[in-house]
Each structure stands twice: as C-alpha cells, then as structure tokens.
Amino acid sequence: MASSRSLNGGSLPFSSQRLLALAQQLSHYKPPPCSLDDGDEQERIIEETVGKVVSQVGVQESVTPISQNPEKFKPKRAAVLICLFEGDAGDLRVILTKRSSRLTTHSGEVSLPGGKAEEGDKDDIETATREAKEEIGLDPSLVNIVTVLEPFLSKHLLRVVPVIGILTDKKAFKPTPNAAEVDEVFDAPLEMFIKDENRREEEREWMGEKYLLHFFEYETEKEKKKYTIWGLTAGVLIRAASLVYQQPPAFLEQNPKFKFPKIVDRNTVMR
C-alpha cells in the first residue's frame, strides 16, 4: 500500500495511487509570500467577535492592498481544514459542517472545520486539526496534511489559513459533532466548486468596489438534504478545487479590489 509522510509529522498509508499522486502534487505547492510578520507587534488589532470561521466574503490576502501595507494591519489568525477523501464512486470529496442552529452568529450556515488560533498552537496545521477534532471528532492522526494555502480575509478581516489534508481511510472516521457548535457533518464533491452547475452569484459592494458572492447548492444523494455553501467557505473551496484539478473555475470569480480603510477598528468589516 502506498504511503507518504504528512507535514504534521505523521505517516499514513494511502488507500489508492490516486490519493498518493494527489498528495505528491499538492506537497509541491508553495503559496505566495505574505508580507505580514507574525512577530511584529502592531498598535491596531482587529477584534473578531465571531468564535468560528464563517463569513459573507472571503478573498485571498495576496490580492489585497493589505499585504502591501503590513504596518497598518495586524489581523487575528484562524485556520480551516480542507479534509479530502475518495468517495465510493471514486470522486474526491470534502468534509463540511452545518453550524449549530443554537449559535448566536451565522447559525445553520455551512463551514469548513476550523476556528481561531489559540496560544498553545504551534502553527496553522495544529489550529486546523485541533479545531476539527473539537468540532467533529476527527482524530488528527487519521489525516495526512499535504499543503497550506495562502491566507484569506474574512469579512471581519480575520486572517484565515486553509490547510489541506487527506483522509486515507474514511471508514475510520466516525463523526461525533460537538452539539454546541455543529448540527451536522456531511461531505460534497470538491469538483463542484469549479463547475458552473448548481451555482448562483450576487453582486455586492464594499467601499465603492463591486465583487461577486458565489452560492453553491448541494443535495445529498441518500438523505436528500439540501445545503447552500457560500461566502468565505465557497471562496476557499474554489481556490482548493482549482489547485487540485489544476484548472480555473468555469465562471468569473471577480474578487473585490479592496481599498484599505484609513482607520481599522472592531467595527471595520467587509459588507
């Protein structure tokens, strides 16, 4: 059985040559450099009031003026886990969650497992895998981490780092959702996020700049449950699918060309 060493120090066998080839492909990916220095202390810190990573809009940090103006901006950090596995039909699928309906913010929305970094986290990988274990009971030892993508900015200007991992044995994962945070755990085909099927868009505006907000509709085959995946989660998955399948989406992304606000405080959000 093929195997590969994980970025988080573990080693797991891959159940197919396809997954091994994917891991090798993604391990060569190098995200564009970011000019934000994690060691620098900044006077302005954005306070993120939402506990988990869900947002109306997510944009790659490298395409914003923020990355060229680090002296103005020291965002709080978070990470999400893009956990991929091979479905019964041989397709690549990604694990998603539906947030608890009892939460006061973004209740019932679809998100990737993840959340804000804690003081004891040594890196983004540990943040993403720790949060996934806390939210849905996904043991980090079951996941081969293969790469880390460039950061995204949430609507509250939270810096979100997507971490891609491969679950080589889906049967070994028995979801145990944390009822305080997650109502449901499900999976969807990754390829849908570069297709124009079951997708709609809405034009939004922030600080005079227009951009497109993408919505993907998905219905599970067995339970016939319907989900809408949008905003930051959709943006991250569009980027991940484009990288995995090595092709751009079949639709116009139109990311916002943000102008950095002169004053940044807890009320500064992308709308």
Task: Give the mean pLDDT of 175-183.
Answer: 94
Task: Give the mean pLDDT of 97-103.
Answer: 82
Fold that domain 77-245 belongs to in CATH: Nucleoside Triphosphate Pyrophosphohydrolase (3.90.79)
DSSP tally for the chain: helices H, then strands E:
3, 14
Q: Determine contact, residues 163/118, Cβ cutoff 8 Å.
A: no
Least-confidence region, from 39-43, 84-88, 208-212: 39-43
Residue 105 has a pLDDT of 61
Q: Report the residue count for the chain.
A: 271
pLDDT tens-place string over residues 244-267: 999 999 999 987 665 444 444 554
Task: Give the mean pLDDT of 77-86.
Answer: 96
Task: Give the mean pLDDT of 136-144.
Answer: 96
Tokens of 157: 């200007």
Rg (CA), the chain: 18
146 pLDDT exceeds 60? yes
Question: Do the strands 77-86 and 159-167 form a parallel or antiparallel pair, or are they unpaired?
Answer: parallel
The pLDDT confidence band at residue 55, using thresholds 50, 70 and 90, is very low
DSSP 37: -
pLDDT tens-place string over residues 118-138: 999 999 999 999 999 999 999
140 pLDDT exceeds 70? yes
Distance between CA atoms of 184 and 182, rounded to whole angstroms?
6
Per domain, the residue ranges of the chain are 77-245
Residue 12 has a pLDDT of 73
Residue 257 has a pLDDT of 61
SS3 89: coil
Residue 210 has a pLDDT of 85
Residue 157 has a pLDDT of 73
In angstroms, the Cα distances linking 108 to 178, 228, 237 are 14, 10, 19
Percent of the chain with pLDDT over 70: 71
The pLDDT confidence band at residue 15, using thresholds 50, 70 and 90, is confident
